[in-house]
Amino acid sequence: MKYPPEPFRIKTVEAIARTTDWERLAVIQDAGYNVFNIPAEKIYIDLLTDSGTSAMSDNQWAGMMKGDESYAGSKNYFHFEAMINKIFGFKHVIPTHQGRVAENLLFSTILKDRKGLVIPNNNHFDTTRANVEYNGGRAEDLVIDIAKDTQAIDDFKGNIDLDKLANLIHNVGAKNIPIGMLTITNNSGGGQPVSMANIRGTAELLHKHEIPFYIDACRFAENAYFIKIREDGYQDKSILEIANEMFSYADGCTMSAKKDALVNMGGFFATNDDELAQQITNRLILIEGFPTYGGLAGRDLEAIAIGLEEVLHEDYLAYRISQVEELGDRLIEAGVPILRPTGGHAVYLDAKNFLPHIPQSQFPGIALTVSLYTHAGIRAVEIGSLMFAHDDPETGETIYPHLELVRLAIPRRVYTNSQMQYVAENIIELYEDRENIGGYEIEYQAQVLRHFTARLKPLQ
Residues that bind ligand PLP (CB under 6 A): 51, 98-100, 125, 127-128, 183, 187, 216, 218, 256, 258-259, 267
The C-alpha atoms of residue 5 and residue 12 are separated, in whole angstroms, by 19
The residue among 263 and 376 lying less far from ligand PLP, judged by its C-beta, is 263
Q: Which one, 42 or 259, has the nearer CB to ligand PLP?
A: 259
Exposed, middle or buried: residue 353 (CB in 10 Å: 0-12, 13-18, 19+)? middle
Tell me how crowded residue 398 is: count the other CB atoms within 10 A of its CB.
12
User: DSSP assignment, residue 54?
Assistant: P
How far apart CA 224 and CA 382 sit, in angstroms, is 28
Q: Smaller CB distance to ligand PLP: residue 183 or 192?
A: 183
> For ligand PLP, which is the closer residue by CB, 51 or 135?
51
- Rounded to whole angstroms, the Cα distance separating 333 from 337 reads 10
Which helix (H) or strand (E) segment holds residue 216: the answer is: strand 213-216
**Least separation, in Å, of the C-beta of 242 and ligand PLP?**
19
Give me the least distance between CB of 99 and ligand PLP, in Å please: 3
CA neighbours closer than 13 Å in the CB half-sphere of residue 85: 8
Complex with ligand PLP: residue 317 or 376, whichever CB lies closer: 317
Helix, strand and coil in the chain, % to nearest 5: 45, 15, 40
Report the DSSP beta bridge partners of residue 268.
Answer: 95, 255
CB count within 10 Å of CB 430 equals: 22
Residue 74 class from Cβ within 10 Å (0-12 exposed, 13-18 middle, 19+ buried)? buried
Q: Please tell me the distance from the alpha carbon of residue 273 to that of residue 22, in angstroms, as a whole number.
A: 58
Q: Rank residues 280 and 358 by Cβ distance to ligand PLP and give the closer one.
A: 280
Cβ proximity of 236 and 274 under 8 Å: no
Q: What is the C-alpha separation between 148 and 340, in angstroms, rounded? A: 11
DSSP strand pairing (138-141 vs 118-121): parallel
Residue nearest to ligand PLP (CB): 99
Cα separation of 66 and 255, whole Å? 24
Nearer to ligand PLP, 67 or 267 (CB): 267
Measured CA distances, 385 to 32, 359, 396 (Å): 17, 10, 16
Report, in Å, the least distance between residue 192 CB and ligand PLP. Answer: 12
Q: Beta-carbon neighbour count of residue 233 at 10 Å?
A: 9
Give the nearest distance from C-beta 180 to ligand PLP in angstroms: 16
On the 0-12 / 13-18 / 19+ scale of CB atoms within 10 A, 99 is buried
